[in-house]
Amino acid sequence: MPTLIAPSLLAADFGNLERDCNIVNNSTADWFHIDIMDGVFVPNISFGMPVLAAIQQHAKKPLDVHLMIVEPDRYIKTFHKLGAEILTVHLEACKHLHRNIQEIKSFGMKAGVALNPHTSIELLKDSIQDIDLVCLMSVNPGFGGQSFIKNTFAKTKELSQLIEETNSSCLIEIDGGVTNQNAAQLIKCGADVLVAGSHVFKSENPLEKIKTLKNII
Ligand code: DX5
Ligand code: ZN
């Protein structure tokens, strides 16, 4: 399967959101990655429902919504209404992960589970069969523009092995500090989806950066 590219709008210019949505629409990227932060689960607040509604008006590709919020179960229905096709909750934020995954799927969305850099792959053993996507955080969640944590390579391999052993069809997404410097190695380790914020939107030529990431292997 070709690697999927999901530019993160967190690094977009919010004064020109329509323009930046169109960059993704007109690029070889596959999904829009949308980072929702509540200032409690992570030490930053990004944006909420009204901004996502504006994005929904302009985006012509699937919305991959990454919830960095406590009690994400309170908002599953809302994010469905706002057009999320993939809805990712953090394992660390869910007391009843199994129930939350089932509820996401009951709305017809793909269910994603994100792991912080310190969270072990082992904890996914009993739910991997039910999950559509695991998002491995390769930075501590909360901010764009941070440096990639190298232990993610080993974690990606370990997750890839678990998926193979259990015959799961779950995708591996890598989120944080992804650039054309680490993309090839991530893909070799088993990554299926690469999220990239700053690397794309803080560059002179976002379309070119997306194209390069898409064609890396
Ligand atoms: C971090 C977010 C990431 C972020 C990636 O908390 O989950 O999606 O936007 O940004 P870069 O690519 O700049 O690290
Ligand atoms: Zn994210």
In this predicted model, what pLDDT tens digit does every residue of 7-45 receive, in sequence order?
Answer: 999 999 999 999 999 999 999 999 999 999 999 999 999
CB–CB of 121/162 below 8 Å?
yes
The first and second tokens of residue 84, run together, are 């999320």
Average confidence (pLDDT) over 76-99: 98
Q: What Å distances lie between residue 26 and 59, 76, 86, 91, 171, CA to CA?
A: 10, 29, 21, 33, 24
**Ligand 1 centroid from CA 6, angstroms:** 11
Which residue puts its alpha carbon closest to atom 9 of ligand 1? 144
Ligand 2: distance of its center to the CA of 164 in Å? Answer: 25
pLDDT at 217: 76
Please give the average per-residue pLDDT across 43-68, as a whole number.
98
Identify the three-state secondary structure at position 119.
coil
Residue 196 and residue 213: Cα distance in Å, rounded?
A: 9
| Structural domain of 123 | 4-215
- Domain count along the chain: 1
Q: What is the CATH number of the domain that holds 137?
A: 3.20.20.70
Tens-place pLDDT, residues 166-216: 999 999 999 999 999 999 999 999 999 999 999 999 999 999 999 999 999
Residues measured by CB to lie within 5 Å of ligand 2, the ion: 35, 66, 175
